Amino acid sequence: MVAHREQAILAQRLIADTCKKQAIKPEQLVIHADRGPSMTSKPVAFLLSDLGITKSHSRPYVSNDNPLLGVTFKTLNYGPDFPDNFGSIEDARVFCKNFFTWYNRGHHHSGIGLLKPEDVHYGRTDQIMKEWSLVLKTAFENHPERFRGIPPCMPMAAWINQPKQD
């Protein structure tokens, strides 16, 4: 959502609409919220409680608790098409709609086995991996010097802050 300003009512509408659209059930979701006025407001807190959504926050005075979001916005800000400024809020909305459509439906992410977020979200990974395996097997058989014949692996977990292994 691109809005003129941050407001609790807009956060409330965005969260409610998204939960309905994605058929999110109570106790199924954790939202990582910043400590801004919208996400700490009573209307949003009550909505999250009503929807059975757990809210997590960054540690106080720590700005890097959500690197996943940081990577998304780095891709946005450093992309070749990102303008120095937008002519209007409508321009910003169009730009962001196109960017996030590409980011979720067209961009292959290295952290999720070179899959697209939408494919992972909607459970299409098994079929895609089978198709990749077939294509790579054929390519390997025809040109073993050029192809390993092994598709990238879907990680078992994707971490924001992976615990240290002892």
**Which neighbouring-strand residues pair with 57?**
33
CATH architecture of 1-63: 2-Layer Sandwich (3.30)
Q: What is the pLDDT of residues 144-158, one digit of tens each?
A: 888 766 666 777 776
Which tens digit of pLDDT belongs to each residue from 68-127?
667 777 888 888 889 999 999 999 999 999 999 999 999 998 878 889 989 998 999 999
By three-state DSSP, how is residue 19 classified?
Answer: helix
pLDDT band at 11 (very low <50, low <70, confident <90, very high): confident
- Of 160, 157, 163, 166, the residue nearest 32 (C-alpha): 160
Res 74: pLDDT: 81
8 touches 48 (CB < 8 A)? no
Kindly state the average pLDDT of the residues 124-134. 90
CA 103, CA 97: separation in Å to the nearest integer?
10
